Structure 1
Amino acid sequence: MSGATIRVLIVDDSVVIRRLIKEILDADSRIEVVGVAHNGQVAITKVEELKPDAVTMDIEMPVMNGVDAVRALRKTHPRLPIVMFSTLTERGASATMDALAAGASDYVTKPANVGSVMESRQNIKDQLIPKLIALTGARKLVGTRTALPPAQPPAGVSRAAGTPRRTQPFGLLAIGSSTGGPDALATVLSALPGDLPVPVVITQHMPPVFTKMLAQRLDSISRLNIVEAEEGDVVERGKVLIAPGGLHMEMKSKGTGVFVHLSDAPPENFCRPAVDVMFRSVAAVYRNRVLGLVLTGMGRDGAAGAGVIRSAGGEVFAQDEASSVVWGMPGATVLAGQADRVLPIEQIAPTVAAALIQSQGASTRQAAGPVTGGVRA
């Protein structure tokens, strides 16, 4: 990051929206708007001229749209934070997924055509400013990061080198992610084997509609069956369930099965769905048979839940700082001493698969935890 302020380029074909975003950002002393552009082609030129620390990018624009602009910018500026502006519609969600796949860092949802201008301003401010600060802070650390010491387990929990020795097979993989999560999830899920011996549950911070689109995109590149979760869904081997936007996802046991329960309970960590809610529920159901995974994301969601998983005897892996878009969630987990392993994104899938498959040979695997969809080998 250059200087004491975050230098931002605003890209949008609407004069009204450009002015609105500029007024919001200008009111924050940590941010300086260094320029505006009315389409993607102009934005590419202005990035070279102005060298901003971050870019806000509309999706639908004439001459060159936001998705194509992101693709072009990623060829020359692979780590420049780019935050997309998207509508809360199916079309907007689909375009946002395209932008994230092209390399966009994150997105902000435009308010619907309801409410006051003041509410719209506050909505954008609450979403955009924290993301710009987190993303540019992460970029500033690139090149200055040092190797992390191994995460320390909680008192009473020992960890041997290599794959931890287990007396029970894992029964579930639970993943939490936020900023940068869609790309990280794509990397991990596309590399997991189709015969993974456990079910997978995921909480990714996203609004309604977006999570359905995410599930569809991930399903198209994975050998596993990936869907947006619905109330009462069976948690079973070979299936990946993604928490729907706007609802917490919990696991509930009934008889010998485990089922999804969706809740509109208050947000936790300012999020709904929240990773902590999911982590607590899987620890309660599967006890010491949970493997938790915390991927890139802003904030601390998942760190407390990771502690619950480990207190129950499960294990938690976390994405490392260098490969994270924002090392908030995994960083909080690691710094709290709740990560058994800290891994770069490209090593997560093979390490997770090996841990899950090898655990199936545990000598006392018939004891704890529910039997779900043939999880017990």
Structure 2
Amino acid sequence: MERSPLRVLVVDDTVVYRKTVSDVLAEIPGVEVVGTANNGKIAMMKIASLKPDLITLDIEMPEMNGLDVLRAMRTEAPGVGAIVLSTLTHKGGDLTIKALELGAFDYITKPETGSIEESKRTIKKILDLLLKSYARHLEMKKILYGGGLARSNAAGAPSGQPGLWTSKYSSVSSAKTPRKQKAEIIGIGISTGGPKALSEMMPKIPSNINVPILIVQHMPPIFTNSLAKSLDSLCAIEVKEAEDGEIIRPNVAFIAPGGKQMKVVAGLDGLSRIIRITDDPPENSCKPSVDYLFRSIAEHYVGRSAGVIMTGMGSDGTLGLRMMKRNGSIIIAQDEPSCVVFGMPKKPIDEGIVD
């Protein structure tokens, strides 16, 4: 049975980007552009009349900005998803994080340089991946909850609660290191849907958890600092963007800076552990990469760590989790119903390395 096309409304206050995004969407198979809007008020009216599955949403608009649109969608159009378009600036980063916390499915940064044709190619490459992922997300919600395009939260947010974990016991290599009772560090890998999931999960962590948390969230430079500041305002523990050479301390969550790699190394005293920020190449097309971090945790916290893999596209983190498992770590994965994209947790669950 042939799928119905994904119906998309383009919302942007600039004529250039309305046309650019509309032209790009028209070239993607299985997508129908049902209309455009140049501000949030018009967007809400068109959402009501055109009933799109998804909107592409500029955040900085007159009359009614993108954040206000997302807030309105939570009550007036909870079944409609949103992909936000943002600028790679500090203000753009802060606004994008707020949009993701409000339930936007994902984001695209507007190209800063190049011709219109180059911008189209860049946007098309990213949008094509996001739309395929969003279509799978809708299919999963339909299977799990029935009733057409069932989505219970705003802008394509997961229907379950982040922090619901799948337990799947299976045999692993007998050569693994025996696990100690208590994890001394927690590593978290996360991507699409991450800011919203983290904003719901992290505030539940008590101030006296007494272990450090190292987080890789797939994001560009600037945005990770915005994410850290936002989470820090919500959490009982300190949350910060990691810096090179920092001693890893308990009751602090360190977020890998966008565009860099983060790993754990031994301190000069041989006892402390230090954060090392590097410019090493991307892994799994990701920088920061979850695998890169998890391998170092496996090496420096043998039998004394927990690895957590959460919502996101692709399989970044699986190789690192295998090493952590062999070295006696506890492995936790977010379950399918609560994921925006069940990609990164799926492979380790399928391989049976999740506890």
Give me the TM-score of the superposition, normalised by structure 1: 0.83
The 5 Å alignment of 1:180-199 reads 180-199=193-212
The answer to whether structure 1 residue 174 and structure 2 residue 187 are counterparts is yes
1:154 Cα deviation from its structure 2 partner: 4.3
Conserved 8 A contact 2:297-2:305: yes
The answer to whether structure 1 residue 275 and structure 2 residue 274 are counterparts is no
Looking at structure 2, the residues matched to 69 and 26 of structure 1 have their Cα atoms a distance apart, in angstroms, of 24
Q: Which amino acid aligns with 1:134?
A: S
The answer to whether structure 1 residue 142 and structure 2 residue 141 are counterparts is yes
1:148 Cα deviation from its structure 2 partner: 11
Q: Which amino acid aligns with 1:232?
A: G
3-state SS in 2 of match to 1:261: strand
1:80 Cα deviation from its structure 2 partner: 2.4
- The match for 1:345 is none
- Pick from 246, 259, 280 the counterpart of residue 265 of structure 1: 280
The answer to whether structure 1 residue 320 and structure 2 residue 319 are counterparts is no
- The match for 1:200 is 213
1:9 Cα deviation from its structure 2 partner: 0.9
The 5 Å alignment of 1:1-377 reads 3-112=3-112, 114-145=113-144, 150-156=167-173, 166-254=179-267, 255-340=270-355
User: 5+ residue gaps in structure 1?
Assistant: 159-164, 341-377
Identity of aligned residues (%): 40
Q: Which amino acid aligns with 2:348?
A: T
- Offset from partner CA, 1:247-302 (integer Å, 9 cap, x none): 01010012111111112222111110011111111101102111011111111111
Give me the TM-score of the superposition, normalised by structure 2: 0.88
Q: Which amino acid aligns with 2:239?
A: I
Looking at structure 1, the residues matched to 179 and 321 of structure 2 have their Cα atoms a distance apart, in angstroms, of 18
1:326 Cα deviation from its structure 2 partner: 1.1
Conserved 8 A contact 2:185-2:212: yes
Looking at structure 2, the residues matched to 121 and 207 of structure 1 have their Cα atoms a distance apart, in angstroms, of 19
Looking at structure 2, the residues matched to 16 and 182 of structure 1 have their Cα atoms a distance apart, in angstroms, of 29
User: 5+ residue gaps in structure 2?
Assistant: 146-163
3-state SS in 1 of match to 2:4: coil
Looking at structure 2, the residues matched to 43 and 51 of structure 1 have their Cα atoms a distance apart, in angstroms, of 11
Looking at structure 1, the residues matched to 116 and 317 of structure 2 have their Cα atoms a distance apart, in angstroms, of 34
3-state SS in 2 of match to 1:99: helix
Looking at structure 2, the residues matched to 106 and 64 of structure 1 have their Cα atoms a distance apart, in angstroms, of 20
Change (3 A) 1:172 1:60: same
User: How many residue pairs were aligned?
Assistant: 332
Change (3 A) 1:54 1:154: farther
Change (3 A) 1:107 1:285: same
Conserved 8 A contact 2:48-2:77: no
3-state SS in 1 of match to 2:354: coil
- Offset from partner CA, 1:42-94 (integer Å, 9 cap, x none): 11122222222211000111221111001101113334220000000001111
Conserved 8 A contact 1:71-1:103: no
Q: Which amino acid aligns with 1:132?
A: L
Looking at structure 2, the residues matched to 236 and 134 of structure 1 have their Cα atoms a distance apart, in angstroms, of 37
- The match for 1:350 is none
Looking at structure 1, the residues matched to 319 and 85 of structure 2 have their Cα atoms a distance apart, in angstroms, of 31
Change (3 A) 1:148 1:309: closer
